[in-house]
Amino acid sequence: MSSDPLRILVDIGHPAHVHLFRNALRIWMDRGHQVVIAIRDKDLTAALLDLYGFTYNVASVARHDSLGLLIELLEHDWRVFKLARRFKSQLMLGTSVSISHVARLIGARSLVFNEDDADVVRAFALLAYPLAHAIVTPSCLGEDHGARHITYDGYQELAYLHPNVFTPQRNILAKLGVEPGEPYFILRFVSLRAAHDRNATGLSLAVRRKLVQSLSNCGRVFITSETPLPQEFEPYRIQISPQDIHDAMAFAKLVVSDSQTMTAEAAVLGTPSVRCNTFVRRISYLEELEHKYGLTFGFSPQDEERMLGRVMTLATRDDLRGEWRRKRERMLADKIDLTTWMVDLVERYALCID
C-alpha cells in the first residue's frame, strides 16, 4: 500500500462503470485516500451513485448527435479540469477521454480503463489513448499499446460480480413476485445511441414481440429498457430498484438482450444469455465468454430465426443451471477478482508519482 494518502479523481461515463469502481472506491476511502467522483450524467449513472451513497460532480450531460458530442467533450474536459485542479488530483482514473487530457495539464497521472476493442470504440481510443499514462484493458483483447498498456486476466464485470464481492440475494424472488422454482426470463432492450453505436442495430420490434410471446409460454417475462417501452410491453416492465438487477439476473433462467454489458453480466453470473446486435463477432471479451467458456451466444440481426431457435432451446431445457455453474467455475478459475487487483494497481502506480 502507498504510505501516504492519495488524492484520486475517478471519472465515470456509464452506469456500468459505477459498478466497476464502487467496491474499489469504498476500499480506497476506508484506507484513508481522498477520492472525488466526476460523472457524465447518462441514464442511471447518478441514480446508482445516489443509491450507493456516493457524492459526485456532474461534469456533463449525455448528448448524442455529432455536434452535441463535441460540445459535451469540451464541457466535460473543462469541468473535470476545474475539479481536478481544485482537488489537486495526483491520480485520475476512469472510463472517460477527459482524464487523459486533464492529467497532462495539471501534472497528474491518468489510468484509462476500457474493455472494448480499440477498433470498435475508435473515437474513444483516438482521443484517450495517446495522452494516457496507462491504458488498462482485459488481456483477451489481444491488443498491444506499448509500455503504457496494462492488462489483466478478467472482465470489468468481475469487479462487482466476482463471488468474492457479490452473493445473489434470494429475496429478489419476492420482490419480483416469483415463486421459488418458477422460471422467469429477463429481456434487456438498449437504445444503441452511444458514439460508437453509429449505424448499429439490435433487436427489432417484431423480434421483441416474438420473444415476449414465446417466452411467456415458458415462464414469467420481465423487461428492462433504456428507451420508452411501447404500451404493449408495459405489463412486463421489471419493477425493482436498479441496484437489484444483478440479483434478478442471477436467478433468471435466461437473459436475452441487445446489450453488451448485461450479456456479459449474465455470463459471469452463470446465467445463460443470448445477444443479438451488429457488434456480434467484433467484441473480444464477449467472443471469449462465448467460444472459450460457452456461457453466452451471439447472433447478428440477420440471423433472427436462428437466434429465436436458440432462445427457445434454452428456455425449454431443464438442466441449464448445473451446466452453466460448471462453465462459470471454469471461467472463474482462469480470471481474477478485479476489485482487489484495481486497488493494488492504483496504490502501486502511486509509487510512480514524482
Beta carbons within 8 Å of 139's beta carbon, 6+ residues apart? 151, 152, 153
**105-119, 173-187, 189-203, 262-276: least confident range:** 189-203
Residue 319 confidence (pLDDT): 87
Residue 117 vs residue 197, higher pLDDT: 117
pLDDT tens across 27-56, in order?
A: 999 999 999 999 999 889 999 999 999 999
Q: How far apart are CA 193 and CA 144, in angstroms?
A: 28
pLDDT tens across 175-188, in order?
A: 999 999 999 999 99
Residue 351 confidence (pLDDT): 72
Please determine, for residue 353, whether its predicted confidence score (pLDDT) is greater than 80. Answer: no
Residue type, 231: Q
Residue pair 265/246 in contact (Cβ under 8 Å)? The answer is: yes
- Calculate the average pLDDT of the chain: 94
Mean pLDDT, to the nearest integer, of 301-329? 96
pLDDT tens across 243-279, in order?
A: 999 999 999 999 999 989 999 999 999 999 999 999 9
pLDDT-based confidence at 192, cuts 50/70/90?
A: low
Please determine, for residue 334, whether its predicted confidence score (pLDDT) is greater than 80. Answer: yes
Q: How far apart are CA 153 and CA 204, in angstroms?
A: 34
**Residues 237, 241, 247, 250, CA torsion sign:** positive
Q: How far apart are CA 83 and CA 71, in angstroms?
A: 18
Residue 68 vs residue 136, higher pLDDT: 136
- Give me the count of residues in the chain: 354
Please determine, for residue 354, whether its predicted confidence score (pLDDT) is greater than 60. Answer: no
Report the candidate in 291, 294, 300 with the shortest Cα–Cα distance to residue 273.
294
How much of the chain, in percent, has pLDDT values that exceed 70? 95
Residue 63 confidence (pLDDT): 84
pTM above 0.75, yes or no: yes
Task: Return the HEC string of the chain.
Answer: CCCCCCEEEEEECCHHHHHHHHHHHHHHHHCCCEEEEEEEECCCHHHHHHHCCCCCEEEEECCCCHHHHHHHHHHHHHHHHHHHHHHCCCEEEECCCHHHHHHHHHCCEEEEECCCCCCCCHHHHHHHCCCCCEEEEEHHHCCCCHHHEEEECCCHHHHCCCCCCCCCCCCHHHHHCCCCCCCEEEEEECCCCCHHHCCCCCCCHHHHHHHHHHHHCCCEEEEEECCCCCHHHHHHECCCCHHHHHHHHHHCCEEEECCHHHHHHHHHHCCCEEEECCCCCCCHHHHHHHHCCCCEEEECHHHHHHHHHHHHHHHCCCCHHHHHHHHHHHHHHHCCCHHHHHHHHHHHHHHHCC
Residue type, 273: S
How much of the chain, in percent, has pLDDT values that exceed 90? 87
Residue 314 vs residue 353, higher pLDDT: 314
Mean pLDDT, to the nearest integer, of 6-13? 96
Residue 215 vs residue 190, higher pLDDT: 215
Radius of gyration of the chain (CA): 20
Mean pLDDT, to the nearest integer, of 122-140? 97
Report the candidate in 177, 140, 170, 135 with the shortest Cα–Cα distance to residue 155.
140
Mean pLDDT, to the nearest integer, of 103-131? 96
**Rounded-to-10 torsion of CA 16, 17, 20, 21:** -140
- Domains contained in the chain, CATH given: 7-160+336-352 (3.40.50.2000), 172-334 (3.40.50.2000)
pLDDT tens across 51-86, in order?
A: 999 999 999 998 877 888 889 999 999 999 999 999
Report the candidate in 300, 295, 263 with the shortest Cα–Cα distance to residue 280.
300
Q: At what angle do helices 338-349 and 15-30 cross, to 10 degrees?
A: 60
Please determine, for residue 2, whether its predicted confidence score (pLDDT) is greater than 60. Answer: no
Q: Which residue has the cell 447472433?
A: 299
